[in-house]
Chain A
Amino acid sequence: MAYALQQLINGITLGMIYGLIAVGYTMVYGIIGMINFAHGDVFMVGAYVGIIVLTAFSGMGLTAVPLGLLVALILAAGLCAIYGYTIERVAYRPLRGSFRLAPLISAIGMSILLENFVQTSQGAKERAIPSLIPGGITLMNENGFVVQLAWMQIAIVITTLVVLGIFTYLVTKTPLGRAMRAVEQDAKMAALLGIDTNRTISMTFVIGAALAAVAGIMFLLYYGVIDFYIGFDAGIKAFTAAVLGGIGSLPGAVLGGLLIGLIEAFWSGYATVAYKDVAVYSILAIVLMFMPTGLLGRNDVEKV
Chain B
Amino acid sequence: MSKVLSLSGVSAFYGQIQALKSVDIDVNEGEIVTLIGANGAGKSTLMMTICGNPRARTGSIIYRGEDITNLPMHEIARRQIAQSPEGRRIFPRMSVEENLMMGSQVVKFADYDQQLGLMLELFPRLKERFGQRAGTMSGGEQQMLAIARALMSKPKLLMLDEPSLGLAPLIVKQIFSAIRKLNQEMGLTVLLVEQNAFQALRLAHRGYVLVNGAITMQGPGAELLARPEIRAAYLEGGH
Q: Which residues of A contact B (CB under 8 A)?
A: 175, 178-179, 181-182, 185-186, 188-197, 300, 302-304
Contacts and interface: CB of A to CB of B under 8 A. Distances in A.
A251 to B, nearest CB: 13
Interface of B: 51-53, 72-74, 77-78, 82-83, 85, 87, 89, 91-94, 98, 101-103, 105-106, 135-139, 142, 149, 153
Nearest to A298: B93
B53 A188 contact: yes
Contact of A190 (B82, B101, B102): B102
A195 B74 contact: yes
Nearest to B80: A194
B111 to A, nearest CB: 13
Contacts, number: 71
A55 B106 CA distance: 48
A158 B206 CA distance: 64
Nearest to B104: A193
A156 B21 CA distance: 63
Contacts of A195: 74, 102, 105
25 contacts: A175-B101, A181-B91, A181-B93, A181-B94, A182-B91, A182-B94, A185-B93, A186-B89, A188-B53, A188-B89, A189-B89, A191-B52, A191-B74, A192-B83, A193-B105, A193-B106, A193-B153, A194-B153, A197-B74, A302-B92, A303-B135, A303-B136, A303-B137, A303-B139, A304-B87
Contacts of B82: 192-193
Contacts of B102: 178, 182, 190, 193, 195
Nearest to A300: B135
Given A302-B135, A303-B135, A303-B138, A192 B51 contact: yes
B93 A191 contact: no
Contact of A185 (B77, B87, B91, B137): B91
Contacts of B73: 188, 191-192
Contacts of A302: 92, 135-136
